[in-house]
Amino acid sequence: GDSWGIFTFLCAALCNLPALPALNCTEELGAGQSIQKTYDLTRYLEHQLRTLAGTYLNYLGPPFNEPDFNPPRLARAERVPSATVDLDLWRGLTDNARLAANYRAYSRLLCYLRALDGQAGTAELRHRLGHFCSSLQGLVLSIAGVMSSLGYPLPAGPAGPPMPSGTPVAPNDFLKKMDDFWLLKELQTWLWRSAKDFNRLKKKVPPAVVTLRLEARGF
């Protein structure tokens, strides 16, 4: 079926990267379990990010590592997908829209994060970043899994490739660091938001519903 196709595509598309996805493409988790797994992943990543961000901001140096640092948002920072959303709008999101927003956001955040990889200071920091990227990739796959098990199409546009061409490189060192600062901030905020997104999904999608859907699609 369609889901099978999506799984294989994802595995193929992302298999050329150093960290192979651990997902067994033949597994068919009930959506309820997948949502729980995705929720757990966001919590794990949020926890990981706390340590990683602390280390990275220290590497960037002051003022980026100061707790009160609260710079204004520059226009260039708008490229990074924002988790900020109007309350009523967020409440009213359909399951599909909710999942799609998460999928798109983390796909792009993963791209940007990968770009940090080669430039970071110490080998240890690069190693930590690499590990985090692998985990984040796992999250993207997990969300894709939930979407396909619920019969939703994955948002258009590839998940894997590098930054879209024509992206202006930061003109100076300080602005480059600002970009990094905002990237980490958005990532952190997305992880806070995703926990709430997946909480809502957990309540709305009981496993029984999924079984019926899978049967209807001839699984």
Partner 1 sequence: DSHTQYERVGADVTMKCGSMDWDAAVTWTANGTDIDESHLNGSYLILKNVDLTQSGQYSCYEGSSWHLKYQTCLRVGTPPKEPVLMCRSNNYPKGFYCSWHLPTPTYIPNSFNISVIHGTREMVCEKDAFPKNRCHVRYLQLFSTVKYKVTLTVTNALGKNSTTLTFDEVAIVKPDPPESVVAKPVPNNPRRLEVSWQNPSSWPDPESFPLKFFLRYRPLILDQWQHVELSDGTSHTITDAYAGKEYIIQVAAKDNDIGTWSDWSVAVHATPWTEEPKHLTTEAQITETTSASTSSFMPPPTTKICDKGAVVGSGAVAVCWTAGLVLAAYGVLFI
Question: Where does this chain bind partner 1 (CB under 8 A)?
Answer: 43, 46, 68, 70, 72-73, 82-87, 90-91, 182, 185-186, 188-190, 192-193, 195-196, 199-200, 203
Give 110 or 187: the residue with its C-beta nearer to partner 1.
187
Give which of 199, 171, 159 is closest to 38, Cα–Cα: 199
CB of 85 to partner 1, least distance (A): 6
Q: How far is the CB of 185 from partner 1 (least distance, A)?
A: 5
Smallest separation (angstroms) from partner 1 to the CB of 189: 5
29: Cβ contacts below 8 Å, ≥ 6 apart = 37, 145, 149
For partner 1, the closer CB: 80 or 144: 80
Nearer to partner 1, 7 or 190 (CB): 190
Q: Which is nearer to partner 1, 90 or 152 (CB)?
A: 90
CA distance 50 to 47: 5
- The answer for residues whose C-beta is within 8 angstroms of residue 179's C-beta and 6 or more apart is 76, 77, 170
Of residues 135 and 211, the one with the C-beta less far from partner 1: 135
**CA separation for the pair 106, 96 (Å, rounded):** 16
Q: What are the Cα distances from residue 202, in Å, to 15, 31, 82, 98?
A: 29, 9, 23, 12
Residue carrying the six token digits 């300080």 = 174
Q: How far is the CB of 93 from partner 1 (least distance, A)?
A: 11
CB of 182 to partner 1, least distance (A): 7
Which has the closest alpha carbon to 142: 174, 184, 178, 99? Answer: 99
Nearer CB in complex with partner 1: 183/210: 183
Compute the distance between CA of residue 27 and CA of residue 149 in angstroms, rounded to an integer.
11
Tell me how far, at minimum, the Cβ of 154 lies from partner 1, in Å: 23
